[in-house]
Amino acid sequence: MKDKINQLIEEVKALQASTTEEVESLRIKYLSKKGTVSGLFDEFKNVPNEEKREIGQLLNILKNSAQDKINSLKNTFAANNKSDRDLDLTRTAEPIKLGTRHPLTLVKEEIAEIFSRIGFTIAEGPEIEDDWHVFSALNFPPEHPARDMQDTFFIEKNPDILLRTHTSSVQIRVMKNQKPPIRMIFPGRVYRNEAISYRAHCFFHQVEGLYIDKNVSFADLKQALLYFAKEMFGADTQIRLRPSYFPFTEPSAEMDISCNLCGGKGCPFCKHTGWVEILGCGMVDPNVLDNCGIDSKVYSGYAFGMGVERITNLKFQVKDLRLFSENDVRFLEEFKSAF
């Protein structure tokens, strides 16, 4: 009997099946009430007492390995059958998740589009600049606080190489290389050494504008900016220009638009003034034209500069600037249908 059991143990280990039906017939053959293993348990009664212990152990090994083998065969078919059942060729395809363009890109492109309708073309300049293009040529006096370490990220000192703090540097590059008339906008990223919070970041985006020709006047500037404000924020939008100071423009102004949330009546967003600031502008200082080799006695021009984050906030009331650089898809997807 011992030999018979050992032989069966080997036999069971080698069992194979290629369908669930075959597994079931193996189960019946070995493990059913009338199967081989049960038969051996019946015979066990007749085993002499002194052999009962050894044979009993062997019988249990046989029973367990038969059960294990049949269960594992069953499982392979169960897994295969499951994937067979899941394969539904009539199902519609999984939707492909499309990315969305960044809100700052969308707004930058809209700004560019509006100005292109009134004849402005686009140029870009380097983000790593020297002192001359960012400050000196733009008429910043040597002791001007914007040159300070606190505002500017310096890469090298003497000669100063730095990350541009504004896109006005691109004005200089263009005026050095082109003759008027020049009518261009310069979008780009700028850097300032600011602690990051919900309302400040160490990098942000600007769009600079420049128009140089004979007889360009402040009235031209005002008309171009009024056109932009109405196109960007709606036909009812009004603008107001407040006197201001920039080293590279004279006279200089800051422009407000009538609050696009309350329509100018006054609300918490515009701090109950009815106006919100959107950009800086002015007539290009004659010193700047001369620095770039453009004769300030023949030519005049205007310039303006706006923050893309600021315009985006006004349009969409994004309360926390950090959202723009965190790449949270949930935030980005909110702008899917905005344009």
Residues that bind ligand DAH (CB under 6 A): 166, 168, 208, 246, 249, 280-282, 303-305
Q: Which is nearer to ligand DAH, 30 or 246 (CB)?
A: 246
**Quick one: tokens of 166?**
């504004």
Least distance (Å) from ligand DAH to the CB of residue 112? 16
**Quick one: tokens of 79?**
């897994």
Across the beta sheet with 300-307, what order do the strands follow? 121-122, 182-191, 203-213, 300-307, 275-284, 249-258, 239-246
Least distance (Å) from ligand DAH to the CB of residue 91? 55
Q: Which is nearer to ligand DAH, 101 or 240 (CB)?
A: 240
How far is the C-alpha of 48 from the C-alpha of 81, rounded, in Å?
Answer: 47
Q: Which is nearer to ligand DAH, 169 or 237 (CB)?
A: 169
Least distance (Å) from ligand DAH to the CB of residue 316? 22
Cα separations in angstroms, 54 against 40, 59, 60: 14, 9, 10
Least distance (Å) from ligand DAH to the CB of residue 280? 3
Q: Cα 244 to chain center, whole Å?
A: 35
Q: Which is nearer to ligand DAH, 167 or 260 (CB)?
A: 167
Least distance (Å) from ligand DAH to the CB of residue 139? 11
Q: Mind giving me the DSSP string for 6-33?
A: HHHHHHHHT---SSHHHHHHHHHHHHST
Q: Which is nearer to ligand DAH, 115 or 304 (CB)?
A: 304
Q: Which is nearer to ligand DAH, 70 or 281 (CB)?
A: 281
Q: Which is nearer to ligand DAH, 120 or 246 (CB)?
A: 246
**Quick one: tokens of 151?**
């505002």
Q: Which residues pair with 303 in a beta bridge?
A: 210, 282
Least distance (Å) from ligand DAH to the CB of residue 93? 49
Q: Cα 66 to chain center, whole Å?
A: 58
Least distance (Å) from ligand DAH to the CB of residue 333? 31
Element (H, E) at 163: strand 161-163
Q: Which is nearer to ligand DAH, 276 or 303 (CB)?
A: 303
Least distance (Å) from ligand DAH to the CB of residue 327? 25
Least distance (Å) from ligand DAH to the CB of residue 306? 8
How far is the C-alpha of 333 from the C-alpha of 101, rounded, in Å?
Answer: 9
Q: Which is nearer to ligand DAH, 213 or 334 (CB)?
A: 213
The answer to whether 62 touches 40, Cβ cutoff 8 Å, is: yes
Q: Mind giving me the DSSP string for 47-103?
A: S-HHHHHHHHHHHHHHHHHHHHHHHHHHHHHHHHHHHHHH--TTSPPPPPPPP---H
How far is the C-alpha of 67 from the C-alpha of 135, rounded, in Å?
Answer: 85
Torsion of CA 211, 128, 248, 177, to 10 degrees: -40
Element (H, E) at 121: strand 121-122
